Amino acid sequence: MPEFRRLLDGYRRFHSEAWKEKRERWARLSEGQSPSLLVIACSDSRVDPAQIFDVDPGEIFVVRNVAALVPPFETSPGQHGVSAALEFAIQFLKVRHVVVLGHAMCGGCRVALDQSLRGAAPGEGGFVAQWIAMLDQAREPIAARLGTEGRAAEQAMEHAAVAVSLANLRSFPCVQEKEASGALKLHGSYFSISDGMLHVLDEATATFIETE
């Protein structure tokens, strides 16, 4: 597989160059991690938080999934992967900031908007449909105002997804407690792929402001 061989070639370059340049840092990291930030990002191959924020290994704890979504707090039986990662980062690593990183041209948000996977069987789109169903309530006013096609509607959905994840984060008791005490701060952000610009959410005005 040429694709996998390219990964191995990349590893060899990393080990011979980047790893050696920061060998002391890697030695310290082998003893444990203490990141101060948790970034919740999309699995999209174009949106790499470490590259966007230009950070070194060990500086950010990252959770990636379709559309950078955080489910609401719940205690029902099941495999709660995102909730487990949040719990680990907040309660055990004691991160001080949580950043939700949405992005332009998000396929998950587009499917949430047009509902093209609604009714699909698991393994054929059903898992994705069930996951992004947590955006259904946010979708309704967007679809009514802007329709379900076009960049204006898609961007509104992408922005709304960041707000939904922040609201769901605040349904976790540990987040409520730490945010109230000032031990934890939540941030919403949005990355524009075409121009490489990052926008930060001003929750007071519900607007995304371009970072200079």
Strand partners, 201: 208
How does strand 185-192 pair with strand 60-65?
unpaired
56-99 tens-digit pLDDT: 999 999 999 999 999 999 999 999 999 999 999 999 999 999 99
Average pLDDT over the chain, rounded to whole? 96
112-125 tens-digit pLDDT: 999 999 999 999 99
Domains of the chain by residue range:
1-32, 33-210
User: How far is the C-alpha of 81 from the C-alpha of 71, rounded, in Å?
Assistant: 10
Tell me which amino acid residue 152 is: A
Check pLDDT > 80 for residue 1. no
What does CATH list as the number for 33-210? 3.40.1050.10
Q: Give the pLDDT score at 79.
A: 92
Check pLDDT > 70 for residue 163. yes
User: How far is the C-alpha of 4 from the C-alpha of 1, rounded, in Å?
Assistant: 6
Residue 201 has φ and ψ, to the nearest 5°, of -75, 125
User: How far is the C-alpha of 102 from the C-alpha of 109, rounded, in Å?
Assistant: 10
**Percentage above 70 pLDDT, the chain:** 100
